[in-house]
Copies of this chain bind each other. A is one copy, B any other.
Amino acid sequence: MRLWRGEVSVRSSRRLEVIDVTREVRRLVRESGISEGLASAWVPHTTAALTVNEPDPDLWEDILETLARLVPVEGDYRHNAKYSRLPGEQNAHAHILSSMIRPGITLPVSSGDLDLGTWQAVLLVELDGPRKRRVKVTVLGE
């Protein structure tokens, strides 16, 4: 049983954005040399999240539109009021959505690769971009 860790950075270009990081996470898993186990992906951020779904940019727009409908960017938030002089801190919506979707996901690894379903991709959900984002990957297995 072995443990391996790696990290990758991606850059978002919009306030709300879905970024497919499957290739990056997959590369780290292959680099680990671990054949069977689990890979934990983690964003060390409080205004982004990780999830898994189809690599379909139209669907990503549907996801982002739904998230912004449920938790509007412009809202009457205490967090934003407290930091009303800081334009960069008008992001309560991003913290709330990150809390709901969450910053980590544990993925199965098999045959030295991510063991995802046919239509599954690892997606970083940017909720307060544009920013540089990190994805940390821990692989545990044999």
Select A38's contact among B36, B43, B140, B142, beta carbons within 8 Å.
Answer: B140
Task: Count the copies.
Answer: 3
C-alpha gap A120/B48 in the complex (Å): 11
Is A130 in the interface zone, CB < 8 Å from B? no
A1-B3, A66-B71, A120-B44 known; A115-B136 Cβ under 8 A: yes
Judged by DSSP, the binding face of A is: mixed
B40 and A95 within 8 A (CB) = no
Q: Are B58 and A78 in contact (CB under 8 A)?
A: yes
Contact between B138 and A108 (Cβ–Cβ < 8 Å)? yes
Stretch at the interface among A9-17, A22-30, A49-57: A49-57
Task: Determine whether A105 belongs to the interface, using a CB cutoff of 8 Å to chain B.
Answer: yes
Q: Which residues of A (65-120) have their CB < 8 Å from a CB of B? A: 66, 70-71, 77-79, 82, 92, 95-96, 98-108, 110, 115-120
- Between-chain CB contacts (< 8 Å), 7 pairs: A38-B140, A42-B108, A42-B115, A58-B78, A104-B105, A108-B136, A140-B141
